[in-house]
Structure 1
Amino acid sequence: MTTPTNSTTGATLTLSDLIAPHLPYLRRHARALTGSQPGGDAYAAATLEAILAEPSCFDTARLGGKAALFAVFHSIWSGSGSPMPEVEPDTMPGARSKAIERLSALTPGSREALMLNTVEGFTVREVAQVMDVTPAEAETLVRAARDEMQAGVQGRIMIIEDEAIIAMDLEGICQMMGHSVTGIARTRAAAVALGKREQPDLILADIQLADNSSGIDAVNDLMTEMPDVPVIFITAFPERLLTGERPEPAFLIAKPYEPDQVISAVSQAMFFASTETLKG
């Protein structure tokens, strides 16, 4: 691996300098694949340990920092057999068998390719480099994931969002995917009332709500009665929620978002009812 330098100061960049800006997004990706914060963080840690043990595997000269980091992760992930998301059998009876059944119907590697492309923003060519496949194979995997995951599960979605235009956009995306929307809540109190009245199969939640209440608090209130319902948080500041210092959401979308990001995250979350909630 060549030794990169800071273009402004000329100082040599350390591995930490090269990895740190991309690590929160690797953790997000790993959590979405495993379905839990501990599982995702374990894979992220294994990625860092692999780079420390063999720095040459972190090929920034060929791939660039983010792609190089994700490529190391993918080699570990695929080498472990791309395991299914973690589910606690005692707290979520039947969820593990359902997840296994759904995963068995997916084209191998398609879920990873879709997340890399739509959520992490890699081009199809970059996805191919990360996954060590040809661009044509990467494009086929992304297309297969879209078709298979959207067709796999339809359900009822609740939207917690105080901005009317965004709420309507999210509603339209969900309905286009074949899901129904139970309603739109703009405050914590309204969200709790709606959730109790019309229990959803999935929740899309903004963080900051109309009356300065918290979407995180609203979700935590709802989780006391419906702990198995997956949640996708939407925020303009995702890095604030990806610190590793407290429980974090398994699914997180940054504002402004692209429709494909919502489609991918909803498809993922509908597949696996494994949700980490936030406190505070």
Structure 2
Amino acid sequence: MSTAQLVVQHLPYLRRYARALTGSQAAGDAYVAATLETLVSDPATIRAEGNVKVELFQVFTRIWNSLSVNGRGEQIQRDLPAEVRIGQITPLPRQAFLLSSLEGFSEAEVSHILDVDGKAVQDLVEEAGRELAADMATDILIIEDEPLIAMDLEALVESLGHNVTGVARTRTEAVKLANAKRPGLILADIQLADGSSGLDAVNDLLKTFEVPVIFITAYPERFLTGERPEPAFLIAKPFQPANVSAVISQALFFQQRARRPEMRASA
């Protein structure tokens, strides 16, 4: 298969990324077109034996970052859809966040695309997470049986601009609190005080309404098996506040993106 054929396979993903990065499909496609023009003028830019997708995104990134206008952050406008608002946060963290969270690149791949080291990638994703978390404020239910951890989570969530609807220590309490006020996101421990499971509590709640869930556990290897189903969002204990912030942002960001097609379909 030629390099051109390999590149074509990845164009839908590059267009998706470009749209999220710029805030519109038209603007994103203009950068994709410029990327393709670069490849036509210098086919050796991408090697067929290398990671074509990573190299394609790297060429796009060089073009994007070469324009000074793309180095400016803007004031976030809250009345815009998520895929537009993310285009208004600080540029480099925005790129790192989208490459890792939306496109699923590994830390090493993001490092290569952005030409920064691995630690810088972590810092950039966490920074984007903090910016987005403050923008996507919602009501959050915490399911956690350890008082100190629950207090830390509550303080962190509120510092990001979210509202804590309650803290549940058991499966029964979680269902009761969620029925009293439906949350926009759930932070759930796996093992609860009465021997019940946070997984069971969440499953009870998801029977009546849809909500993004972030599981927190000291034993992530028990759940990240590569088999389905497995939690979409998982945080390992002990956790770092910046990591929790970033994952909350990811969960809310993808929820809002998922709702956009549903709104268009019902219109």
Q: So what's the TM-score if we normalise by structure 1?
A: 0.55
- Is 2:117 the counterpart of 1:158? no
CA distance in 1 between counterparts of 2:171 and 2:164 reads 18
Corresponding residue to 2:159 among 167, 173, 176? 176
The answer to which structure, 1 or 2, has the higher relative contact order (CA under 8 A, 6+ apart) is: 1
Q: Point out 4+ residue stretches in structure 1 off by more than 6 angstroms.
A: 76-81
What does 1:201-280 align with in structure 2 at a 5 Å threshold?
201-227=184-210, 229-273=211-255
SS of the equivalent of 1:260 reads helix
- Is 2:181 the counterpart of 1:198? yes
- After TM superposition, give the deviation of residue 248 of structure 1 in Å: 1.4
Is there any run of 5+ residues in structure 2 with no aligned partner, and where?
1-47, 62-79, 101-106, 257-267
What does 1:64-213 align with in structure 2 at a 5 Å threshold?
98-106=81-89, 110-111=93-94, 113=96, 129-134=111-116, 141-142=124-125, 145-146=128-129, 148-213=131-196
Pair member with larger Rg:
2
After superposition, the C-alpha distances for 1:79-134 in whole angstroms (9 at most, x for unaligned) are 899xxxxxxxxxxxxxxx94433444345662563597xxxxx7xxx797344424
One-letter amino acid matched to 1:244: G
One-letter amino acid matched to 2:149: I
- After TM superposition, give the deviation of residue 269 of structure 1 in Å: 1.4
One-letter amino acid matched to 1:237: Y
SS of the equivalent of 2:161 reads coil
Q: How many residues align?
A: 187
**Residue 273 to residue 209, structure 1, CA distance change in 2 (3 Å):** same
CA distance in 2 between counterparts of 1:102 and 1:157 reads 21
| % identical equivalent positions | 50
CA distance in 2 between counterparts of 1:234 and 1:100 reads 27
Q: Does structure 1 retain, via aligned residues, the 8 Å contact 2:111–2:121?
A: no
SS of the equivalent of 1:220 reads helix
- After TM superposition, give the deviation of residue 164 of structure 1 in Å: 0.5
- After TM superposition, give the deviation of residue 185 of structure 1 in Å: 0.3
CA distance in 2 between counterparts of 1:177 and 1:132 reads 27
Q: Does structure 1 retain, via aligned residues, the 8 Å contact 2:140–2:165?
A: yes
Indicate the RMSD between aligned Cα atoms, in angstroms. Answer: 3.8
After superposition, the C-alpha distances for 1:193-249 in whole angstroms (9 at most, x for unaligned) are 11111111110000000111110010011011111x111000011111111222112
CA distance in 1 between counterparts of 2:227 and 2:243 reads 25
**Residue 247 to residue 99, structure 1, CA distance change in 2 (3 Å):** farther
One-letter amino acid matched to 2:206: M
SS of the equivalent of 1:210 reads coil
Q: Does structure 2 retain, via aligned residues, the 8 Å contact 1:113–1:127?
A: no
Higher helix share: 2
CA distance in 1 between counterparts of 2:222 and 2:92 reads 29
Q: Does structure 2 retain, via aligned residues, the 8 Å contact 1:128–1:137?
A: no
- After TM superposition, give the deviation of residue 150 of structure 1 in Å: 2.9
After superposition, the C-alpha distances for 1:224-280 in whole angstroms (9 at most, x for unaligned) are 1111x1110000111111112221121110001111111111122122228xxxxxx
CA distance in 2 between counterparts of 1:188 and 1:221 reads 9
One-letter amino acid matched to 1:268: Q
Q: So what's the TM-score if we normalise by structure 2?
A: 0.58
CA distance in 1 between counterparts of 2:202 and 2:60 reads 33
- After TM superposition, give the deviation of residue 142 of structure 1 in Å: 4.6
Q: Does structure 2 retain, via aligned residues, the 8 Å contact 1:189–1:218?
A: yes
**Residue 76 to residue 236, structure 1, CA distance change in 2 (3 Å):** farther
**Residue 102 to residue 78, structure 1, CA distance change in 2 (3 Å):** farther
